[in-house]
Structure 1
Amino acid sequence: MNNEELLKIMSEWNFWGKERLKLGIERECYIERIIKLLSSVKVVAISGIRRAGKSFIARQVLNRLIENGVKLEDTLIIRLDDERLINLNYELLLKIYNLYLTYVKKDKSRPTYLVLDEAQEVEGWERFVRGLEERCEAKIIVTGSSAKLLSSEFTTLLSGRHVEVRVTPLSFREVLEFKGIKIKGVLEFAENIDSIKREFVEMINYGGFPDVVLNPEVRAELIHSYFDTIIVKDVVNRYKLRREEKIRTLAKFYISSSASKITYNSVSKFLKIPVKTVERYSEYLEKSFLVFFLKNYSISPKAIENSPRKVYVIDNGFLKYFSTASLGRAFETLVVQHLYRYALKRFYELYYWSSEDSEIDVVIKSGKKILPIQITYELNNENEERELKSLKKFKKYASYDSSLVVTFEQEREVEGIKVLPAYKFLLSPEDVLDSLIR
């Protein structure tokens, strides 16, 4: 590929090209956070599952910087997932960057705001980023759909001079915003309550991938495409696996088991896969961000590691098309996904707790502070005593000041315990949880 052809492709990626870039619907919480981080660090790594919106968020950040005074020619987007690029390697990265410096960049004294999109597609991208960082030439946003983006090698290479921002599919508030429903206060909430409840049920069923939310007529095709791409590109190809059917089987098993306890031994026996293979493949699926695991809370680190884990899928769309999960498990999965986002943002730890006949669905740990949360579609005569009994039993094991029960639509207080409807809680989980974790 000659220089002219490469420059033409580069112009299509960038704000300084002829074509107007698609920005999508802004996700303000990520934009503000990344811009704030770039004022303090030189490299921000945006990681997360494929199709969650990482590339759009990176563009939105650059667009906001341009609106705030950064020159068009001081921005550069390099899209490494462009199928027209051949011989993807370190040398190609250098060539693209040097073409930009030669033909676009006017004032070399000003820093460049660089987006390296889908970085994991190129071997050697880490050295490229480190070189720019050391020469203080650029503020860099790196995006990728693999935890390899923050591997120990990369962390060592940048010596702690980067920060990760994990992007997940849309939160419930973002889903409403994508549908044109903005809730700024009590009045807007009351006016839109029917739409809020309807969209909440939709999210339980179909999840929050941006394109799935915006294009409901093709959501089945989109979810199946996402699953296939994650399995092939982020697992099979990346880890050079020879038996694709085994990892597919395990992925579908974990999706269908969302909100359930598992052990590697039990999975091994059920799927007839060696335990070591189950353990290794589980790590690959977690690093692709398809699933995440919660460990059983204990004051003993050894007990934590040796206990069963609860598995959750990252988005309910996969539940719809790859499982027969009950409404209760789909509901719990959606709430825990939001708690997972909250814990990531606050750097808190997330567990469950199980002991004999008692279980707490989620335990949030912040230093010495602990918040137990029960998630049940409905509190009724059959389960209320059991749910509250578990909270009381847990209090004898681990001291806590507050607790929370999340249901579909009940709101009250039972024996000093706050009960909230999920559609209200998930609109502002940070406000509720921050007030309880003090």
Structure 2
Amino acid sequence: MHRKSSISIREWLENSNKALLVTGIRRCGKSILLKQIMDEMKEDQGVTDDHIIYMNLEDMKYAFIKNAMDLYGYVEKLIVDEEKYYIFLDEIQMVEEFERAINSFHATKNVSIFITGSNSWLLSGELATLLSGRYVNFRVMPFRFQEMFEMLGVKKEEASEKEFMGYITWGVMPQRFYFKTEEETKVFMTDLYDSIVLKDIFWRGQVRDVDALNRLLEYIVLNSSQTFSPTSIAKYFESVNRKVAPDTIIIIWKR
């Protein structure tokens, strides 16, 4: 299914020479969006495969790329002429100081660069400074309500109670629609939660107490329609035999 966001990106591509940074929560469809853009380039603009460089930096075959120098050295060898190359770097946060390579590509090569990333650092003010204003941030969200029905192949007004309950219970992460059973969906959603907490929040925020973080998130979800405070959360921790001071909760929250 082609998302409307790909149309917006196409319009950007025609009018900008900046790197495109595609951000969003894990598994919201960033990688699929990149592949849609690549397909459109081949079909509509006649770009050939040898001028499209795609790398998923979470793939083990790129595990040797640790930093900006590794990234630049590898990609530079793939650029063999003066024609324009299109570089797609998926999950760029895996590369230390990647922004140095991006800046160098822009300064020395005839390229358009597309980047995806998941964690909060990619959305921070740090990145704007490091990339010297040479990028545009494009935020990808999970499916909109209408997109969910397009994915399911039904009209909104003809949807059954099952579709609506699926929306309320499981949300609209694109990949969850590929699972046919409730058990498969539960496994996917649990894995998604763990990957966000461990790879993004835990790693980026340098949180040492994973259990406290999990319980804090659980409390927030269960009380999402109510007001709460560090003190009320501390009382909740006491009820599950965990003693955490309100000040500690504030520190975890800020991270």
Question: Which bracket does the TM-score occupy, shorter chain normalised?
Answer: 0.7 to 0.9
1:26 aligns with 2:2: yes
1:214 aligns with 2:175: no
Read off the aligned partner of 2:86 and give its amino acid letter: Y
Q: Distance in 1 between matches of 2:18 and 2:58?
A: 23
Judged with a 3 Å threshold, the aligned counterparts in structure 2 of structure 1 residues 90 and 160 are, in CA distance, closer, same or farther, namely closer
Q: Is this contact kept in 2: 1:176–1:196, CA < 8 A?
A: no
Q: Which residue matches 2:32?
A: 56
Q: Is this contact kept in 1: 2:120–2:200, CA < 8 A?
A: no
Q: Distance in 2 between matches of 1:276 and 1:137?
A: 51
Higher gyration radius (CA): 1
Report the alpha carbon displacement of residue 144 of structure 1 after superposing the two structures with TM.
0.9
Judged with a 3 Å threshold, the aligned counterparts in structure 2 of structure 1 residues 134 and 263 are, in CA distance, closer, same or farther, namely farther
Q: Which residue matches 2:10?
A: 35
In structure 2, stretches of 5+ residues that fail to align are 238-242
Q: Which residue matches 2:226?
A: 260
Report the alpha carbon displacement of residue 92 of structure 1 after superposing the two structures with TM.
2.2
Tell me: higher relative CO, structure 1 or 2? Use CA pairs within 8 A at least 6 residues apart: 2
CA-atom RMSD in angstroms? 2.1
Read off the aligned partner of 1:58 and give its amino acid letter: L
Q: Is this contact kept in 1: 2:118–2:200, CA < 8 A?
A: yes
Report the alpha carbon displacement of residue 33 of structure 1 after superposing the two structures with TM.
1.2
SS at match of 1:58: helix
Report the alpha carbon displacement of residue 111 of structure 1 after superposing the two structures with TM.
2.3
1:97 aligns with 2:75: yes
Report the alpha carbon displacement of residue 71 of structure 1 after superposing the two structures with TM.
2.7
Report the alpha carbon displacement of residue 226 of structure 1 after superposing the two structures with TM.
0.6
SS at match of 1:261: coil
Read off the aligned partner of 1:277 and give its amino acid letter: T
Query: Which of 181, 188, 196 pairs up with 1:230?
Result: 196
1:281 aligns with 2:252: yes
Read off the aligned partner of 2:191 and give its amino acid letter: S
Q: Which runs of 4+ in 1 moved over 6 A?
A: none
Judged with a 3 Å threshold, the aligned counterparts in structure 2 of structure 1 residues 268 and 37 are, in CA distance, closer, same or farther, namely farther
SS at match of 1:216: coil
Report the alpha carbon displacement of residue 259 of structure 1 after superposing the two structures with TM.
3.1
SS at match of 2:158: helix
In structure 1, stretches of 5+ residues that fail to align are 1-24, 184-188, 285-438
Q: Is this contact kept in 2: 1:178–1:214, CA < 8 A?
A: no
SS at match of 2:72: helix
Q: Distance in 2 between matches of 1:160 and 1:264?
A: 38
Q: Which residue matches 1:353?
A: none
Judged with a 3 Å threshold, the aligned counterparts in structure 2 of structure 1 residues 66 and 282 are, in CA distance, closer, same or farther, namely farther
Read off the aligned partner of 1:83 and give its amino acid letter: M
Report the alpha carbon displacement of residue 264 of structure 1 after superposing the two structures with TM.
3.4
Report the alpha carbon displacement of residue 244 of structure 1 after superposing the two structures with TM.
1.3
Q: Which residue matches 2:240?
A: none
Judged with a 3 Å threshold, the aligned counterparts in structure 2 of structure 1 residues 255 and 56 are, in CA distance, closer, same or farther, namely same
Q: Distance in 1 between matches of 2:254 and 2:113?
A: 28
Q: Percent identity, please.
A: 28
Q: Is this contact kept in 2: 1:118–1:142, CA < 8 A?
A: yes
Q: Distance in 2 between matches of 1:180 and 1:281?
A: 42
Q: Which residue matches 1:81?
A: 58
Q: Distance in 1 between matches of 2:122 and 2:75?
A: 20
Q: Distance in 2 between matches of 1:89 and 1:224?
A: 31
Q: Which residue matches 1:346?
A: none
Q: Distance in 1 between matches of 2:8 and 2:57?
A: 24
Q: Is this contact kept in 1: 2:57–2:63, CA < 8 A?
A: no
Report the alpha carbon displacement of residue 269 of structure 1 after superposing the two structures with TM.
4.2
Instruction: Give 1 or 2: higher strand fraction.
Output: 1
Query: Which of 49, 59, 81 pairs up with 1:72?
Result: 49
Read off the aligned partner of 1:45 and give its amino acid letter: L
Residues matched between the structures, number: 245
Q: Is this contact kept in 1: 2:57–2:90, CA < 8 A?
A: yes
Read off the aligned partner of 1:208 and give its amino acid letter: V
